[in-house]
Amino acid sequence: MKLGWAAGRVLAKKGSGPVLVGKDTRISCYMFESALEAGLSAAGVDIRLLGPMPTPGIAYLTKSTRAQAGIVISASHNPFHDNGIKFFAGDGTKLADEVEMEIEYELNYKMRSVPSLSLGKARRITDAPRRYIEFCKSKIKGNINFNDLRIVIDCANGATYHIAPKVFEELGAEVIIHAASPDGLNINDECGATSPGILQQLVKESRADVGIAFDGDGDRLIMVDQQGSILDGDDILYIIARSQLKKLNGAVVGTVMSNLGLEHAINSLELDFFRASVGDRYVMELLLKKGLTLGGETSGHIINLDLTTTGDGIITALQVLETMVSTDTSLTELVKSVKKYPQIIRNIEFDTHIDITKNDDINRVIKDTKNVLGNAGRVVIRPSGTESLIRVMVEGENKNQVENLINELADKVTEITTRLH
């Protein structure tokens, strides 16, 4: 409630438009929504409630309705008992750092309400899903339809449950729906982009052309080809890059976790490949800095600034399907040129605020491992952005060597971090 009030205080100084509030399907979203609504109203700001909506849908509606800001209540791919709040500016992008700092500054003050005459009013935008469905469909060329495609869609019991199936059905596809019955507790529960096992089975059993799994808030996806093989964000980024070569200003952005095979495949298209830190915020920063339009993460978070202001799982899927249809090529064939290097990631529990990347012992073991790999591999150690974990990654040409090195490196990192606790 106080966060809503503090944000409302800052926004009230900058304009008079409403603030949109949308959410995913977690049970705690009801509580967060009511509290934010109360805080914003107490600051004198009008509220527009969207109900369950994908994060990119909230970004789109924030911009298209001329709202001052949009608020998303979601913990993305995390389990139901987690939740979080993020903001969009009026143009559908992340809030500027200086605005975030102003909101943090307001949190230092005691909360107080504006006079009753000036309280913010709240109402629901009942046609929000339909507006976003039409926006997604508009990103497909008018002469393209999916009449010959059979698609399995896994909605992760999350925010896409009432939107994604309609988008693909209305474009002509035969749609088989999985995990689209949210109950507040089952979001991302053995389903969605983080648990694609059932999707793989369904694609093979139903002889579908493709499977699509979204995460809880719909801003990312993974795909499954007709053979049941998983395509991650690296594969998807390559497909889109190859189909949009003339629009890319000569380069694509990935992250430090993007597979070396993707980098080589992108380079073979005569494009440069730049690596950002992990996180869509950093991908976006590098895109803007370099004047580029396309970037993404291995997790399936793809940003195409030609089409949207943020990562959008549904629109990303539509781009891939459009390429399949327009080239009459299977998903398997579209990624044939991406020869991935063996890559293994280990997660190590670490819940202190020490910057692990500046630790001399950690940097020494990284250097030792890199020396073994030479130029034919990579080593990355980084803190998770959402969990109390350190992610350790080793990538190289030889799978057995990678397995041995990741085991040794994980043991050494565990030993070092145990001493730091």
Active site residues: 76
Length of the chain: 421
Cα radius of gyration (the chain): 22
164, two tokens: 């994604």
Distance separating alpha carbons of residues 403 and 345, to the nearest angstrom? 10
The amino acid at 216: G
